[in-house]
Amino acid sequence: MSKIKAKYDVIIIGAGSSAYACSIRCAQLGLKTLCVDNLDTNTSSGAFCNAGNVGMITLLESAKLYDTLLNDIDSHGIFAENVSLNLPKMILHKNKILDEINHNVIKIFAEYKIDFINSKASLIAPKIIELSSAHSPSQQIHAKYIILATESIPITIPCTPIDNEFILDSTAALNLTKLPKRLAILGAGVIGLELAAIWNRLGAETTLLEAQETFLGLSDNQISRQAYQIFTEQGLELRLGARVISTKIINKKVLIEYQDADGTHAIRVDKLIVASGRKPNSESLSAPEADLLLDENGYVHVNENCKTNLPGVYAIGDLTLHGPMLSHKGMAEGVFVAEHIAGIGSSSINYNIIPNVIYTEPEIAWIGQTEQALKAIGDRINIGIFPLSINHQPKSVINANGMVKVIACANTDTILGVHIIGCHASELIAQAVLAMEFSASSEDIARIIHSHPSSAEALREAALVIKNKGLNS
């Protein structure tokens, strides 16, 4: 075993969103930085970004264009004939976007003199990692600080063994080059719904099997009810309380057995996508002798500054239980840890106002508390709801369904939660994040002049409704 002479201030294990954000910020602050990850250089995987998110959004945009050309474009006075789907080319387009992002990050790494090593890495002691590669002998590298950022991986289920031919994980589901006639998705959470939005629009008969009895249980009940209605009208078949008990490959089809309140059922599909959640990618993250503290589910224990139980070792992103498994949460933690190491007194991350987004069509986004959660603890609240179907700008957009819902404290008028389902919800929620960061009231939003017509003014309209001043409702 060889040793590399200590020359790094910071080593970051991982190359996803949180890792590259942390690497860049460390380098900006003058820290000699090394990023290490075991990448498959033979595939276009979006190594230096959240390939799932970016790939998902890219394919959804393509699917929306295809669906519009087939079904809605004539309402604009535009007629398209002989519209056809070239799925392999669509996948190539998605991979090209991922490659462009990767090349841009590689360029930034070079500009900031960030080193990168493509290798497996394991923490073997505080301030020491070990590299292992099939092409070179193992090596040890020392650094003053080590940041763990290996993100998460899909959860596997014994009764749905993934072969990525008939039973696919969420990554393989973004690389299909032949459209399945019938498709089932195990899990109607964020990833399952995003994948369903793509393949349903491309023409696959899509069924979602969700073990939970409730739909989108973490979101506001009013939003989830409307989402269920909209997605059902779009042709998605949502089966709640459906627990898959077995799968078999028979004559190149997947036979799925599941149980619900009515008994045992079976469906036969061309492909089954397993989207039953994710878990921290921590299985080979550290050697036993390192004594890194993990919980029974593989999450790394950290304090409010993302410090682990080991001196000089931090963990960020999906590896920790702090906040949801979201790219922007991990990136914020990466920047925070870099500044903490450099001695910059930045404030701690407010995990209560991290926006959640589901990239479906329409999109779903929310921040803060739900109506049901606030009522459960007895808080007095005021609610303003504005349907996007009557907002002037979205009315010009095909299928302008959805709403904006603002929840404010009845006593102080402080905004406690904002929930959106509709076109550009992922963009609209940024207004709410800014407002809640500065403890704004619904009156503050109501008094801000928004451009008209615009999707953005829907948030103001919802705030006006709280004061019974709505201009369009």
Which three-class secondary structure string do you get for the chain? CEEEEEEEEEEEECCCHHHHHHHHHHHHCCCCEEEEECCCCCCCCCCCCCHHHHHHHHHHHHHHHHHHHHHCHHHHCCCCCCCCCCHHHHHHHHHHHHHHHHHHHHHHHHHCCCEEEECEEEEEECCEEEEEECCEEEEEEEEEEEEECCCEEECCCCCCCCCCCCEECCCHHHCCCCCCCEEEEECCCHHHHHHHHHHHHCCCEEEEEECCCCCCCCCCHHHHHHHHHHHHHCCCEEEECCEEEEEEEECCEEEEEEEECCEEEEEEECEEEECCCEEECCCCCECHHHCCCECCCCCECCCCCCECCCCCEEECHHHCCCCCCCHHHHHHHHHHHHHHHCCCCCCCCCHHHCCEEECCCCEEEEEECCHHHHHHCCCCEEEEEEEHHHCHHHHCCCCCCCEEEEEEECCCCEEEEEEEEECCHHHHHHHHHHHHHCCCEHHHHHHCCCCCCCCCHHHHHHHHHHCCCCCCC
User: Active-site residue 301, yes or no?
Assistant: no
pLDDT by residue for the chain (473 residues), tens digit each? Answer: 445 554 899 999 999 999 999 999 999 999 999 999 987 655 544 456 556 689 999 999 999 999 999 988 888 888 888 899 999 999 999 999 999 998 999 999 999 999 999 999 999 999 999 998 777 778 999 999 999 999 999 998 999 999 999 999 999 999 999 999 999 999 999 999 999 999 999 999 999 999 999 999 999 999 999 999 999 999 999 999 999 999 999 999 999 999 999 999 999 999 999 999 899 999 989 999 999 999 999 999 999 999 999 999 999 999 999 988 999 999 999 999 999 999 997 788 999 999 999 999 999 999 999 999 999 999 999 999 999 987 655 555 556 789 999 999 999 999 999 999 998 999 999 999 999 999 999 999 999 998 888 888 999 999 999 987 766 65
DSSP label of 269: E
Among 3.40.47.10, 3.50.50.60, 3.40.50.880, 3.10.28.10, what is the CATH number of 167-276? 3.50.50.60
Among 3.40.50.10540, 3.50.50.60, 3.40.50.300, 3.30.70.20, what is the CATH number of 2-153+279-351? 3.50.50.60
* Residues contacting residue 434 through CB under 8 Å, at least 6 positions apart: none
Half-sphere exposure of 306 (CA within 13 A, CB side): 33
What residue spans in the chain does CATH classification 3.50.50.60 cover?
A: 2-153+279-351, 167-276
User: How would CATH label the architecture of 362-466?
Assistant: 2-Layer Sandwich (3.30)
d(CA 289, CA 60): 45
* Cβ neighbours of 51 (radius 10 Å): 22
Helices (H), 156-260: 190-201, 221-233
pLDDT tens string 320-362: 999 889 999 999 999 999 999 999 977 889 999 999 999 999 9
From the list 447, 440, 449, 450, the residue with the least C-alpha distance to 464 is 447
- Write down the catalytic residue from 103, 265, 392, 452: 452
